[in-house]
């Protein structure tokens, strides 16, 4: 994979345009609108499932652009990247290709919360993503701005239920039809940019704003609840103008850990990696923030911004008098820019310059591009089902910031899952959901669709109830096989995952059978601290659970049975330590899955439901319209009594429904038979 | 007032709470096998399963499952039981059991060799499976799955409504392997998962709001205590989570974890203390320890026939009797007369009597009123002095833990009796005084009222809340909470994710009492306490 030569950007841009010119068929299974992290994963996933897919983006050149920070992964986010990779998504492999500084965060805190992370070369990342999309069979890329979304009028039988039929571009070309449309508009949905006191329409500096039509259609035609969020990005600093010796050097890991299960090494050589630098804000920074407040519209607006990615302005306002960290991150191998993580700001550019120069390492720094704020529309995600389809509109899927999330990884994860379901919808396959008990992607989507958002949503490991089971190391075991079933995993990766699974199981079984008496443990492995008073024997599995016991040490005691599993030494150690805890989780997981499997019909009229239920509960249920009983139970304010009532209602109506269905079927069969008879009697 | 003799136990038997292996024979083969397997698993060595359960957590408790069971995920494989009729005094109480061990419970509690016909009411003696003692006579009903309220194997015991009987039956059920007290709303949840619930039953489905309400109403102090634990536990968890999710990029000092360390160990100690100290619930389950003490020949053993039938012979050892006083279980211990004696047997008797008084919840000090000085104030001083010597306490006796019984009042002149009765009541420093005559049954009614009042205070009033059920449930959750907290220091240095999991489980267990805590609430604390800026 890594040895693959990427075509130079120019030549494949040509290839793209050639594809576009060959665009004679104006009908697709899936249309993906947007070429960011969500859009690219969605398009690639839809194509992998087997749908004829079209990706429409404003500028082909910016496909795969890292609009904000030049990094991927981290704690919680790294988990998402591993899961996306396990489902054969792009970003893990792209990260391995474009990474220039790899480190696993939380190394000292236990494998369940390790956070694989990398600084990226922006250009290489874009190149990889563009080249991947290009080589994906069944995927076409088109440059253009989407003017309109075509939906059918709801049929009288199903009021308020539309169906997507296609899109219309702003250039006046004929409409393009599709069964599914995935919207990944990012910050471009009614986006406006803020620097100081000036405001201009747009989603990213340097790019044209997208048409206002889309937001209007979502709001007026489809009657969706729309909210507004804000985010921001720091100024980019000219590297040569920074005195890096005044900042702390942060070297990368000496052995880079790749994101992808398919890679054993990263494209960047260990010794070629670039460092990051850490520095701190000074009281002078506080002063500039306070002086510039009246010149700062973005900060005065009351649109919800994230608590965990705040601008320097909001940090200073919320925690005054403190010194805040600023990370100086490289933007690429050849780039002469630094990204000052932690200095996102929206004050006027001259004040921005004054501010950064208050920091010793940047006392003479120059700004290449000023920081700015973005405000954008998002669709309240409780209006989606766990497949990320809009409940009221068949075939319309949303992913990324449009659902109120923040972060590349969160966007990519939703994009992939929306792409899978958009393709399945178009190909008349049942929609699929990921459980929060099996993946962070499941946690992410479940949190979004069943709880909604009040601020941009970011993934943390603390959001996952079963964190000890959902580890970065076992994402392939959790998801690749399932991904193959739903159609988004190639057979190559599937075979690899099956092999790994079998080998691990075999090794675990071997570990269970190996035993060592405590006496010989103390003799052969004196350092692991097997207690004196234990007179029984320990299995290999139990031995591995000791803190200071590595698989290598165990293999040296049992070379003939264990040396063949050396490639899995780390994974086996982790599996052994976590096994008892995961076993404990199992029952609770099964209970939740049982509840998740009970679907609630989307057309329930909660207000007229003939059960005893308070008005408040009815309102909550009507507003959120949970897809499953499981998500209903997690809603705040929904009482167990209400859940029971719902369950009953669904059971009873389900029975009636099935009966009606059976009757219909029988009638239809009878009719069919009659038709057959009639046909048979006709002269051939 | 129904006060009746229930059982006689030897003093030895009560002091060492061991379950005899021989009793296993009464259980069916499967349960026996499971008991043994569990016992062996708990320690890896062959010992009694009960002792294993005790040592594995360091807490002694009557319900073994509560000790070494699964920390948080109370799973459906368990068999649950609860009082399903309302709390407070009632004519008939219904105790429901649901789950795979229901049949075992029925067999060992109602002594069925064969299971009774389904859904038929049978009048049976209901016995304690450990001691074989008859607890009550009532109706039992057997509902094999799926034809039951929950869809699982179920049993109902319809028993007499006294709180002592209910407590005894619940306690006996708790001793059956595989059984635990039900969580709030758990029967309903099981019923609903099995698709068994009729709309009428909804009324009783306990809601989160009701639970919070119940907590608020719960004797204020206890509610505050649990809420305070919950608050501290949430904060600890938030700080560990912040350290896990943000410390790599943010300014979160290592000191944060040190705070968590001390907070967790404090909580562990406090909850453990609470579990040991908080004896009200236990009193209600195992009986209030009432000791009758006094000098020789004060008439201790001639207690009113209304309490217990007279016990023949000189009392040299502690003789224990279980009685029901106003619906509360009471363990009445008759002790040897306190005097210096050269008789070795009697010396031992006196030693035991003193030991028993140390452990007593309530001591009835019996005085021969013929020995009282005739002047009232002198009599009071005499009584105070006498109390000190009997209770061998240098300070004033705690009045709530003591009841002064002046016996043989029939031997006093009428005027002196009346004066004593009038003047000694509420006399400074003296515990409640009762003048009785076992001979003429004079003053007996007042005595019983006073005794009942004291016992009621010691147990808490079941009419004011729901002590038996909630206590058992709360205890179970608190024990799981403590057990889960122990996971934190164990993994603190090697794997913070597993350490945090311990705190999470602890909060989940406590949350079953104080209300569920979601991830968002923890994140709120994180963002309030730390400047997270990446």
- B70, B244, B533: residue with CB nearest A315: B533
Contact B192 A647 (CB under 8 A): yes
Q: How far is CA A39 from CA A34, A444, A449, A470, A554, in A?
A: 5, 17, 19, 26, 46
Q: Work out the pLDDT band at B322, boundaries 50, 70, 90.
A: low
Cβ distance of A110 and B71 shorter than 8 Å: no
Position B390 confidence tier, pLDDT thresholds 50, 70, 90: confident
CA B99 to chain centre: 24
Task: Give yes or no for residue A227 having a pLDDT over 60.
Answer: yes
Q: Tell me what the mean pLDDT of segment B428-445 comes to.
A: 78
Residue A277's CB is within 10 A of a number of other CB atoms, namely 20
- Return d(Cα B135, Cα B259) in angstroms, integer: 50
CA B529 to CA B478: how far, in whole Å? 27
Query: Which residues does chain B have within 8 Å of residue A324's beta carbon, measured at their own beta carbons?
Result: 251, 531, 533
The residue among A402, A415, A520 whose CA lies nearest residue A453 is: A402
Give the Cα-Cα-Cα angle A230, A235, A241 (nearest 5 degrees). Answer: 170
Query: Regarding the domain delimited by B13-206, which CATH topology (the fold level of the hierarchy) does it fall under?
Result: Gyrase A; domain 2 (3.30.1360)
Residues 6+ apart with CB under 8 A from A655: none
CA-nearest of B93, B41, B97 to B69 is B41
Both tokens assigned to A153: 């009028």
- Is there a contact between A358 and A284 (Cβ–Cβ < 8 Å)? yes
A99 vs B350 pLDDT, higher one: A99
Joined tokens for residue A175:
């409409």
Q: Read off the tokens for B147.
A: 């034809």
pLDDT for the residue B11: 34
B166 has a pLDDT exceeding 80: yes
Distance from the Cα of B92 to chain A's closest Cα (Å) equals 27
Please give the pLDDT value at position B399: 62
Between chains, do B244 and A462 touch, taking CB under 8 Å as contact? yes
Residue range A513-527: average pLDDT?
Answer: 83
Distance from CA of B190 to the nearest CA of A (A): 10
Report the pLDDT value the prediction gives residue B87, as an integer from 0 to 100: 55
Q: Average the pLDDT over B462-480 and give the result.
A: 58
User: A629: nearest CA in chain B?
Assistant: B193
**Rounded CA separation A661/A355 (Å):** 69
Compute the average pLDDT of residues B214-218.
46
| CA dist., res. B104 & res. A511, Å (int) | 37
Burial (0-12, 13-18, 19+ Cβ within 10 Å), B278: middle
More confident residue, B61 or B127: B127
Q: How many CB atoms lie within 10 A of CB B400?
A: 13
Q: Which of B193, B205, B526 sits opposite A641 (nearest CB)?
A: B205
Q: Which domains does chain A have, with CATH numbers?
A: 26-228+375-486 (3.50.50.60), 236-373 (2.40.30.260), 497-591 (1.10.10), 615-681 (1.10.150.570)
pLDDT of residue B477 exceeding 90, the answer is: no
Inter-CA distances, B311 with B67, B295, B334, B335, B355, Å: 39, 17, 9, 12, 21
What percentage of chain A reaches a pLDDT higher than 90? 58
| pLDDT confidence band for A675 (50 / 70 / 90) | low
A467 CB neighbours in chain B (<8 A) are: 497, 500-501
CA distance A513 to chain B (A): 17
In this prediction, residues B385-390 reach a mean pLDDT of 79
Average pLDDT, chain A: 87
Question: CA–CA separation, B276 vs B461, rounded Å?
Answer: 20
- Range(s) for CATH 1.20.120.430 in chain B? 218-279+466-529
CA distance B210 to chain A (A): 10
What are phi and psi for residue A667, nearest 5 degrees?
-60, -45
Strand order in the sheet with A115-120: A71-73, A115-120, A99-105
Confidence of residue B302 (pLDDT cuts 50, 70, 90): low
At A598, is the secondary structure helix, strand, or coil?
coil
Instruction: Compute the average pLDDT of residues B31-35.
Output: 47
- In this predicted structure, what is the pLDDT of residue B454? 79
Task: Give A577 to chain B, closest Cα distance, Å.
Answer: 10
A contact test, residue of B247, B525, B533 with most A CBs within 10 A: B533
Name which of B75, B206, B207 is nearest A587 (Cβ-Cβ): B75
Pairwise CB contact (< 8 Å): B72 & A105: no
DSSP assignments along A357-415, one per residue:
TTSGGGTT--EEE--EEEEEEEE-GGGB-TTSBBTTEETEEE-GGGGTB-SHHHHHHHH
Given a cut of 90, is residue B162 above it in pLDDT?
A: no
Min mean pLDDT across A227-236, A493-502, B182-191 is at B182-191
Q: How far apart are CA B318 and CA B339, in angstroms?
A: 15
For A322, the closest of B70, B519, B531 (CB atoms) is B531
pLDDT at residue number B16: 34
Interchain CB distance below 8 Å, A612 and B209? no
Question: What is the structure's pLDDT at B475?
Answer: 77
Residue A533 CB coordination number (10 Å): 5
Closest CB to B497 among A342, A460, A468:
A468
Contacts for B322 with CB less than 8 Å, ≥ 6 apart:
B5, B6, B7, B8, B9, B287, B329, B330, B331, B332
For the domain spanning B286-458, the CATH number is 3.40.50.300
Q: Has residue B468 got a pLDDT over 90?
A: no
For residue A341, the chain B residues in CB contact (below 8 A) are 249, 534
CA A249 from chain centre, in angstroms, equals: 31
Across the range B429-449, mean pLDDT stands at 79
User: In a 3-state reduction of DSSP, which class is residue A60?
Assistant: helix
pLDDT in tens, A130-170: 999 999 999 999 999 998 999 998 877 776 789 999 999 98
pLDDT tops 50 at residue B68: no
Residues of A in contact with B250 (CB under 8 A): 325
Structure-block tokens of residue B63: 């319900």
CA distance A166 to chain B (A): 38
pLDDT tens readout for residues B266-283 = 999 988 877 775 455 555
Taking an 8 Å cut-off on Cβ atoms, the answer to whether B533 and A109 are in contact is: no
**β partners of residue A397:** A182, A389
Share of residues in chain B with pLDDT > 90 (%): 10
> Is-contact A400 A376, C-beta < 8 A?
no
User: Which residue's entry shows tokens 């962070």?
Assistant: A440
Beta bridge partners of A279: A326
Residues of chain A positioned with their CB less than 8 A from the CB of B73: 584-585, 587-588, 591
Chain A residues in contact with B188 (beta carbon < 8 A) = 640, 644
Q: Which of A310, A461, A594 sits opposite B533 (nearest CB)?
A: A310
Q: What mean pLDDT is reported for chain B?
A: 69
Give residue-wise pLDDT tens across range A348-402: 999 999 999 999 999 999 999 999 999 999 999 999 999 999 988 999 999 999 9
Question: Which letter does DSSP use for residue A173 in this model?
Answer: P
Start-to-end C-alpha separation, chain A:
58
ipTM of the shown complex: 0.82
**Inter-chain contact B202–A451, Cβ cutoff 8 Å?**
no
CB pairs under 8 A between A and B: 150
B243-262 pLDDT, tens digit per residue, is 898 877 666 666 788 889 99
Q: Give the gyration radius of chain A's Cα atoms.
A: 27
Contacts of B254 in chain A (CB under 8 A): none
Cβ atoms of residues A151 and A2 within 8 Å? no
CA-based nearest residue in chain B for residue A277 = B249
Quickly list DSSP for B76-142: TTSEEEEE-SPSSS-SEEEEEEESTTHHHHHHHHHT-SSPPPTT--EEEEEE-TTT--EEEEEEEEE
When pLDDT is averaged across residues B423-449 and rounded to a whole number, the result is: 78
pTM: 0.70
**Inter-chain residue contact A465 with B519, CB threshold 8 Å:** yes
* A588 interaction partners in chain B (CB closer than 8 Å): 72-73, 75
* CATH 1.20.120.430 at B218-279+466-529, yes or no: yes
Q: Which residues of B touch A578 (CB under 8 A)?
A: 498
* pLDDT the model gives residue A166: 94
Q: Determine the Cα–Cα distance for residues B421 and B372; give it in Å rounded to an integer.
A: 13
In the block, tokens 């704003």 appear at A209
What is the dihedral sign for C-alpha B292, B298, B302, B306? negative
Q: What percent of chain B has pLDDT over 70?
A: 60
What distance in Å separates the CA atoms of residue B320 and residue B332, rounded to the nearest whole number?
Answer: 6
User: Average pLDDT in the A319-327 region?
Assistant: 87
Q: List, in order, residues 6 or more apart from A674 with CB less than 8 Å away.
A: none
Name the segment(s) of chain B with CATH classification 3.40.50.300: 286-458
Say yes or no for a CB contact (<8 Å) between B527 and A308: yes
Residue among B73, B192, B526 minimizing CB distance to A644: B192
Chain B residue whose CA is closest to A643:
B192
DSSP-assigned letter for residue A263:
-
Which of the residue ranges A567-576, A599-608, A637-646, B497-506 would you say has the lowest mean pLDDT? A637-646
- Residues from chain A that touch B501, judged by Cβ atoms under 8 A, are 467-468, 581
Band of residue A410 on the pLDDT scale cut at 50, 70, 90: very high
What pLDDT is stored for residue B304 in this prediction? 43
Stated as kind and residue range, the H or E segment containing A330 is strand A325-330
List the helix and strand counts (H, then E) for chain A.
22, 23
Q: How far apart are CA B389 and CA B27, in angstroms?
A: 49
| B368, β-bridge pairs | B407
């Amino acid at each position: 994979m890594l040895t693959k030569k990427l075509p130079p950007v120019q030549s494949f841009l040509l290839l793209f345009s050639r594809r576009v010119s060959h665009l004679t068929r104006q009908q697709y299974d899936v249309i993906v609108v947007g070429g960011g992290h969500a859009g690219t994963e969605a398009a690639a996933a839809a194509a992998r499932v087997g749908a004829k897919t079209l990706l429409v983006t404003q500028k082909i050149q910016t496909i795969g652009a890292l609009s904000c920070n030049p990094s991927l992964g981290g704690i919680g986010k790294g988990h998402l990247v591993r899961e996306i990779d396990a489902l054969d998504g792009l970003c893990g492999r792209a990260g391995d290709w474009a990474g220039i500084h790899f480190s696993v965060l939380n190394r000292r805190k236990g494998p369940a919360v390790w956070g694989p992370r990398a600084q990226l070369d922006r250009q290489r990342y874009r190149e990889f993503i563009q080249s991947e999309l290009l080589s994906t069979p069944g995927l076409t890329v088109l440059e253009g701005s989407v003017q309109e979304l075509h939906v059918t009028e709801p049929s009288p039988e199903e009021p308020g239920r539309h169906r997507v039929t296609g899109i219309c571009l702003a250039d006046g070309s004929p409409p393009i039809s599709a069964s599914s449309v995935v919207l990944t508009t990012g910050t471009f949905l009614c986006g406006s940019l803020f620097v100081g006191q000036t405001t201009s329409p747009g989603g990213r500096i340097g790019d044209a704003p997208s048409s206002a039509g889309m937001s209007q259609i979502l709001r007026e035609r489809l009657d969706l609840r729309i909210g507004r969020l804000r985010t921001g990005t720091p100024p980019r600093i000219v590297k040569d103008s920074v005195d890096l010796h005044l900042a702390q050097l942060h070297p990368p890991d000496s052995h880079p850990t790749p994101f992808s299960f398919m890679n054993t090494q990263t494209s960047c050589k260990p010794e070629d990696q670039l460092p990051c630098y850490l520095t701190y804000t000074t009281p002078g920074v506080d002063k500039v923030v306070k002086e510039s407040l009246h010149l700062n519209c973005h900060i005065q607006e009351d649109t919800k911004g994230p608590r965990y990615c705040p601008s320097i302005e909001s940090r200073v306002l919320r925690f005054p008098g403190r010194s805040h960290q600023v990370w100086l991150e490289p933007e690429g191998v050849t780039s002469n820019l630094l990204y000052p993580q932690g200095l996102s700001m929206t004050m006027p550019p001259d004040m921005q310059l004054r501010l950064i120069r208050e920091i010793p390492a940047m006392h003479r720094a120059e700004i290449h591009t000023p920081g700015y704020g973005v405000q954008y529309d998002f669709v309240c995600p409780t209006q989606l089902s766990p497949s990320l389809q809009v409940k009221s509109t068949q075939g319309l899927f949303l992913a990324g910031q449009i659902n109120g999330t923040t972060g590349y990884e969160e966007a990519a994860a939703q994009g992939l899952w929306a792409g899978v379901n958009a393709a399945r919808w178009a190909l008349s396959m049942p929609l699929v959901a990921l459980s929060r008990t099996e993946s962070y992607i499941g946690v992410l989507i479940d949190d979004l669709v069943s709880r909604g958002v009040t601020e941009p949503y970011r993934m943390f490991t603390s959001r996952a109830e079963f964190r000890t089971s959902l580890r970065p190391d076992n994402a392939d075991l959790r998801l690749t096989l399932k991904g193959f079933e739903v159609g988004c995993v190639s057979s190559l990766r599937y075979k690899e995952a099956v092999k790994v699974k079998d080998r691990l199981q075999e090794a675990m079984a071997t570990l269970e059978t190996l035993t060592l008496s405590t006496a010989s443990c103390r003799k052969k492995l004196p350092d692991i601290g097997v207690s004196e008073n234990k007179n029984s024997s320990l299995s290999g599995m139990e031995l591995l659970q000791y803190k200071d016991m590595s698989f290598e040490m165990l293999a040296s005691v049992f070379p003939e049975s264990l040396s063949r599993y050396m490639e899995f030494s780390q994974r086996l150690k982790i599996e052994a330590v976590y096994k008892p805890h995961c076993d404990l989780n199992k029952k609770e997981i099964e209970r939740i899955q049982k509840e998740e499997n009970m679907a609630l019909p989307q057309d329930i009229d909660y207000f007229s439901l003939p059960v005893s239920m308070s008005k408040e509960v009815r309102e909550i249920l009507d507003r959120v319209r949970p897809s499953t009983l499981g998500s209903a139970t997690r809603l705040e304010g929904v009482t167990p009594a209400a859940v029971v009532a719902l369950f009953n209602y669904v059971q009873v109506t389900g029975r009636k429904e099935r009966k009606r269905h059976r009757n219909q079927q029988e009638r239809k069969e009878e009719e069919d038979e009659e038709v057959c008879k009639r046909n048979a009697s006709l002269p051939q | 007032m129904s006060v009746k003799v229930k059982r006689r136990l030897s003093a030895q038997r009560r002091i060492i709470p061991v379950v005899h292996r021989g009793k296993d024979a009464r259980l069916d083969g499967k349960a026996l096998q499971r008991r043994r397997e569990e016992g062996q698993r708990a320690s890896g060595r062959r010992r009694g399963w009960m002792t294993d359960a005790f040592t594995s957590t360091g807490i002694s408790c009557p319900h073994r499952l509560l000790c070494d069971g699964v920390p948080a995920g109370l799973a459906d494989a368990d068999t649950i039981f609860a009082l399903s009729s309302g709390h407070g005094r009632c004519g008939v109480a219904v105790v429901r059991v649901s789950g795979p061990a229901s049949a075992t419970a029925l067999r060992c509690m109602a002594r069925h060799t064969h299971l009774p016909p389904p859904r038929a009411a049978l009048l049976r003696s209901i016995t304690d499976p450990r001691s074989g003692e008859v607890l009550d006579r009532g109706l039992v009903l057997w509902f094999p799955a799926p034809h039951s309220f929950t869809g699982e194997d179920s049993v109902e015991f319809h028993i007499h409504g006294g709180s002592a009987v209910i407590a005894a039956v619940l306690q006996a059920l708790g001793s059956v392997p595989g059984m635990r007290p039900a969580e709030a709303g758990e029967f309903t949840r099981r019923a609903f998962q099995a698709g068994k619930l009729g709309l009428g039953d909804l009324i009783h489905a306990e809601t989160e709001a009701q639970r919070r309400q119940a907590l608020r109403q719960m004797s204020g102090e206890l509610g505050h205590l649990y809420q305070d634990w919950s608050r501290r536990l949430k904060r600890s968890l938030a700080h560990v989570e912040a350290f896990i999710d943000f410390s790599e990029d943010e300014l979160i000092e290592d000191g944060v974890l040190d705070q968590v360390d001390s907070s967790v160990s404090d909580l562990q100690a406090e909850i453990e203390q609470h579990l040991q100290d908080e004896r009200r619930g236990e009193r209600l389950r195992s009986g209030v320890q009432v000791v009758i003490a006094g000098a020789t020949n004060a008439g201790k053993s001639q207690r009113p026939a209304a309490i217990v039938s007279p016990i023949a012979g000189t009392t040299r050892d502690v003789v224990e009797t279980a009685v029901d006083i106003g619906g509360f279980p009471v363990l009445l211990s008759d002790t040897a007369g306190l005097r210096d004696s050269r008789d070795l047997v009697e010396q031992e008797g006196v030693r035991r009597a003193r030991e028993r008084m140390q452990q007593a919840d309530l001591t009835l000090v019996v005085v021969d009123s013929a020995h009282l000085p005739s002047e009232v104030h002198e009599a009071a001083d005499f009584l105070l002095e006498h109390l000190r010597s009997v209770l061998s306490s240098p300070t004033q006796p705690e009045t709530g833990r003591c009841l002064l019984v002046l016996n043989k009042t029939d031997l006093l002149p009428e005027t002196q009796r009346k004066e004593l009765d009038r003047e000694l009541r509420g006399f400074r420093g003296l515990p409640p005084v009762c003048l009785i005559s076992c001979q003429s049954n004079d003053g007996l009614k007042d005595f019983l009222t006073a005794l009942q009042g004291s016992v009621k205070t010691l147990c808490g009033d079941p009419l004011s809340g729901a002590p038996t059920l909630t206590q058992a449930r709360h205890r179970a959750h608190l024990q799981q909470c403590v057990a889960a907290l122990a996971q934190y220091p164990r993994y603190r240095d090697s794997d913070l994710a597993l350490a945090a999991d311990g705190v999470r489980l602890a909060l989940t267990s406590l949350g079953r009492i104080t209300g569920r805590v979601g991830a968002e609430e923890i994140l709120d604390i994180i963002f309030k306490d730390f400047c997270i800026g990446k």
